[in-house]
Copies of this chain bind each other. A is one copy, B any other.
Amino acid sequence: MKFGILVNEGPYNHQASDSAYMFAKAALAKGHEIYRVFFYYDGVNNANKLSEPPSDDRNVIKRWSELAKEHKLDLVVCVAAALRRGIKDELLAEGFRISGLGQLIESGIQCDRQVVFGD
């Protein structure tokens, strides 16, 4: 089945991005397709490659990059939300791209399910 995922909150401060990641991993392991992961609101902060969590903690940003690489995931950061919050191309971790909100709506149209993770 084709899933779209929406992440509404930034890394660490809320569990949303963690839950979305665990969900995505489980869905992929079960053979589902993740059509797109869209990052909106403070969720755009998940793309900030400068993030350096303590060494004994998970690295939320890197985990997304690695999952994207392994499964050719499309990680899309909303341009308007990102501009407001200072997330620009030079900050993007591997696997993320910046694009318009239309990419979320298109995901909603194309996917069998749209799953939202937020605060």
Where the two chains meet, the residues of A that have a C-beta atom closer than 8 Å to any C-beta of B are 10-13, 41-42, 45, 48-54, 57, 61, 80, 83-88, 91
Q: Are B84 and A53 closer than 8 Å at their CB atoms?
A: yes
When chains A and B are docked, how far (Å) is the Cα of A91 from the Cα of B88? Answer: 11
20 further A-B contacts with Cβ under 8 Å, apart from A10-B42, A10-B85, A53-B84, are A10-B10, A11-B84, A12-B84, A12-B85, A13-B41, A13-B42, A42-B42, A45-B86, A48-B85, A48-B86, A50-B86, A50-B88, A50-B91, A51-B83, A51-B84, A52-B83, A54-B80, A54-B84, A57-B84, A61-B86
Main secondary structure of the interface of A (DSSP, over half): loop
Residue from B42, B49, B54 in contact with A86 in the complex, judged by beta carbons closer than 8 Å: B49
Say how far A117's CB is from chain B's closest CB, in angstroms: 15
User: In whole angstroms, how far apart are the Cα atoms of A48 and B53 in the complex?
Assistant: 18
- The residue in chain B whose Cβ has the minimal distance to the Cβ of A49 is B86
Nearest opposing residue in chain B for A8, CB measure: B13
Nearest Cβ in chain B — how far from A45, in angstroms?
7
